[in-house]
Structure 1
């Protein structure tokens, strides 16, 4: 899931911020509590989701009455953030003014999800950096900032069907430069508050910025995308030259100004990656854990869970490795040797990378054919498989999912980072497909968005522990239904994936709570997992930027599995796997506390 879905969930939750509480509640107050609550949800959607131009495009809703949204990007200024914060506080008052006890069960689920999000964000507002809405203390990093998001957003999500779409693209390109400068001002405020990124984050970010500005405007994805797609639609005009002019005069200089701001603090930046070093940093990590895991687990509990699960999964992997004649060395050393085996490594060429993606598509088709046995409801939207854009692959995660458009105009997609095929031995690929696509994120997110008679806000609301926990549960389900029956190395890859997420618990809490160094985190994961150091380095650097997020996967997975086993024990022969899956996914994105309550009610 990673960056894009997190950002979409952020946008959905942030919708609360635009709510003028008194006016909305007054409008709804004369009806029933249910009517008042639905009016509140509708107003939230109208005020934020349907007024934010990038969110409208992400959802495929920037047509018809909302067509003007295509000409703008989101406002990234501090003034907008301050205004949103004030409205958020009022919005939470409106939510809490509704008597939850008077709501039907479905609406109580919505209420609890909104309340949890709101209460957690309010905790984030206590810190002088990070904005409060999303637990990352840095406005711009290797994973965050418009320089990193907008080029791909314009290429993959801004539709071009006619000349006015191309004009809108150019308008957004100009707006891009304004957003970059607004972020630079916020970066400087972060620095003044004591939130300077660690030196390796600055270096990785500068490398990615240089990859953009070091590319000739004529060769930039931002100009080539417009040129290619207008040509495909036979839209007359010198669109490429116009885009290049904006890049040269506005966008590249604005990116360079951000780079200069980062460079100005590079000499004094620390090498420590944990947020413990920031003002109030230990509390900030607890905020991140609560936000992402939607639990009350302490950093020490997270760390111990990781150590325990790494040991348990490692023992299972040891048995499989020995069955393949691999008996010498630690589990990590044997997996490392397996990863270097030429039988399993694609050549690092574009042709081989195309072949790799074709194989992923074949795997997805094969597993999809089994899904009617385990789900009563299947997504209508298809799922594409794409490469992470080359311009951002150096610092981007290994894989992530992009949700479909609400109107069906764009399918779901999962992206795989192919900067180096050595990072993806063939035996690791099926598990990635099951996690990101079928029956993982694509099932969970597409079904949530396609659910009928659901308020818009609840179609796009999300929580990392629920979503990422489901992604890992999907990996386990694939194993349980026999996806690796004739693929012992693929099953080893599945166990390595589980162990990888368990190791994240150890390293996330190690960095931010136990004050591990970046190198200590990398060495632990390389030794434990046998992964390529290059891929592990970007993983550990990601944890430094998103404190707590890496822990959401295994906390969520452990909850999903525990709830299923509890339901089996209570229901016995009456347990229905389709029913369990359909009920769990029908809830949509919810905190784990809500998931536990609802699934226990399903299996009393």
Structure 2
């Protein structure tokens, strides 16, 4: 089953890791049919995911012209789907299932129950198998005003006239999506839920810039269509860009103005309290955000203490390397900052610098590819391109993020890099960044997940996804990518400290009542990041409570499982088999990860 997806995975001989999840039956079972039906049900609720996966074709091609309903009615439709789906799953006979199918069913049930719990809260966005859970329907890094342009630019295919029509249909659907969000944001405001003033200031300004560019021929809505239709061999009938301009001017811009007016109304009520502690139902919401973001029930105080402990050890390692480079004066953070500002580590602050940054990132990706046979039994393609983020997104976005492309390989995976301020990037921080976002991180792991049933490509778990990406940074170090590059090694350790600091700062903001300035100071002292970079990070933790804690907790758990496998197998242990078991098992909650590793251990023992 799903041979077209499985064919994406390159490789030859079967491995012990492959044995950890037995092959699926040749004939579809009732469980297979249910999993497939649930996948298409999810995609019907979120059509842009079908486009990003490249499965909006054939009988499902109409999905390419639709957008998710983000109104309260849309939330209720999702709730009904989840409740009905869980009843079907409960009624499904479980005897005789192979391990892979049993894992898929456990993953779906976990994702659906967690989403329902989030939807029971009085406000916010509770995603179904996604990491973007947030109390705020619209803010500096959340909302259709960001998602629609990025999807149209990055994922929406335009290969013929029908595709161009689908593009226009999505444009025409954007106003309703924006208004649905605006109505929910207004309802939350009526409950007393208002984002921090500094987040609103960023969002209002960035949305204003986006609106100013919206109707331009090369703007975020019309520009991608113009470029994509121009690239089609031969002319296609229809003045698509003129039609797009009319939709943007007459429909999208008024909806954006309504949404921006709601944010301005919120700003009149806003305070500078950064976290959830003082907001209505805030502690309850944060408990959910932590559980969804980490797939654990660890309390915030425990997570905070763990972050402090990890930071202490990482600081000692960085201090040793800095001293070996002759950097002995000041704190570790001050020395890291000074190193990143040295001319030999920076690129500049112009378009030439932006080009150099992308080229440097690409060189690191090219270099690590050759070492991956030391870490995996079967190599996937690693279909990847590095793209600049849409301009409207840059102000509220992190330094970069990435993920796999479409299942059929026609749309490559991407590292979206924030080039609004090129000085954020340097030779210290870039290697670690590309290993995390690209290869062997998000893009690499995501392609293995795409070999599983379709529903497993849709559902993701933050602690696994980000834990793997952080573990991928560790693998790059273990594969020797920092030999002769102490600055890059410092960047790697700085990245680990960054994620450990997230445990401290996220819990500080939302459970301990920290201010934004207190969080910024703590974060910069721990990581050596520049203030602009640190500010975008801290602001992100304010808008996605709990999400930032998944990285380090996920990496810690993968290493716990690796140590367990090494101890259980002794001389039979092989890193390639362990890593293959983890990626072949797909994106899972952390308790299911432990079950998958147990199966690998049993298989390896023979």
1:43 aligns with 2:37: yes
Distance in 2 between the 1:303 and 1:90 partners? 38
* C-alpha contact 2:49 2:458 (8 A) present in aligned 1: no
List aligned pairs for 1:82-161, cutoff 5 A: 82-100=76-94, 103-133=97-127, 135-161=133-159
Distance in 1 between the 2:155 and 2:133 partners? 25
* C-alpha contact 2:45 2:68 (8 A) present in aligned 1: no
SS for the counterpart of 1:380 is coil
1:320 aligns with 2:321: yes
Distance in 2 between the 1:106 and 1:65 partners? 27
Distance in 1 between the 2:527 and 2:454 partners? 41
Give the Å deviation of 1:279: 2.2
Write the deviation string for residues 50-81 of structure 1: whole angstroms up to 9, x where unpaired.
Answer: 56431221111222222222222222221121
Instruction: Name the residue aligned to 2:202.
Output: 204
Instruction: Name the residue aligned to 2:53.
Output: 59
Distance in 2 between the 1:299 and 1:340 partners? 35
Give the Å deviation of 1:158: 0.9
Considering only aligned residues, what root-mean-square deviation do their CA atoms show, in Å? Answer: 1.7
Give the Å deviation of 1:266: 0.9
Q: 1:443 to 1:341 in 2, by over 3 A?
A: same
SS for the counterpart of 1:215 is helix
Distance in 2 between the 1:216 and 1:104 partners? 51
Distance in 2 between the 1:125 and 1:175 partners? 24
1:385 aligns with 2:375: no
Distance in 2 between the 1:296 and 1:98 partners? 28
* C-alpha contact 1:378 1:443 (8 A) present in aligned 2: no
Distance in 1 between the 2:133 and 2:411 partners? 29
Distance in 2 between the 1:59 and 1:465 partners? 21
TM-score by length of 1: 0.91
Q: 1:52 to 1:468 in 2, by over 3 A?
A: closer
Give the Å deviation of 1:101: 6.0
TM-score by length of 2: 0.91
Instruction: Name the residue aligned to 1:254.
Output: 255
Write the deviation string for residues 145-191 of structure 1: whole angstroms up to 9, x where unpaired.
Answer: 10011011111111111122222212211111121112111111121
1:464 aligns with 2:465: no
Instruction: Name the residue aligned to 2:417.
Output: 416
Distance in 2 between the 1:167 and 1:38 partners? 34
* C-alpha contact 1:200 1:271 (8 A) present in aligned 2: yes
* C-alpha contact 1:100 1:111 (8 A) present in aligned 2: no
Distance in 1 between the 2:409 and 2:120 partners? 40
Distance in 1 between the 2:513 and 2:73 partners? 35
- The structure with more helix, counted as a fraction of residues: 1
Distance in 2 between the 1:542 and 1:388 partners? 16
Give the Å deviation of 1:342: 1.4
Give the Å deviation of 1:543: 0.6
Q: 1:132 to 1:172 in 2, by over 3 A?
A: closer
Instruction: Name the residue aligned to 2:62.
Output: 68
Give the Å deviation of 1:544: 0.9
Give the Å deviation of 1:216: 6.1
SS for the counterpart of 1:426 is coil
SS for the counterpart of 1:469 is helix
Instruction: Name the residue aligned to 1:513.
Output: 511
* C-alpha contact 1:135 1:287 (8 A) present in aligned 2: no
Distance in 1 between the 2:99 and 2:225 partners? 48
1:235 aligns with 2:229: no
* C-alpha contact 2:149 2:220 (8 A) present in aligned 1: yes
Gaps of 5+ in 1: 1-33
List aligned pairs for 1:323-402, cutoff 5 A: 323-402=324-403
Distance in 2 between the 1:489 and 1:373 partners? 24
Write the deviation string for residues 441-461 of structure 1: whole angstroms up to 9, x where unpaired.
Answer: 111101111x2xx32102332
Give the Å deviation of 1:381: 4.7
Alignment length, in residue pairs? Answer: 568
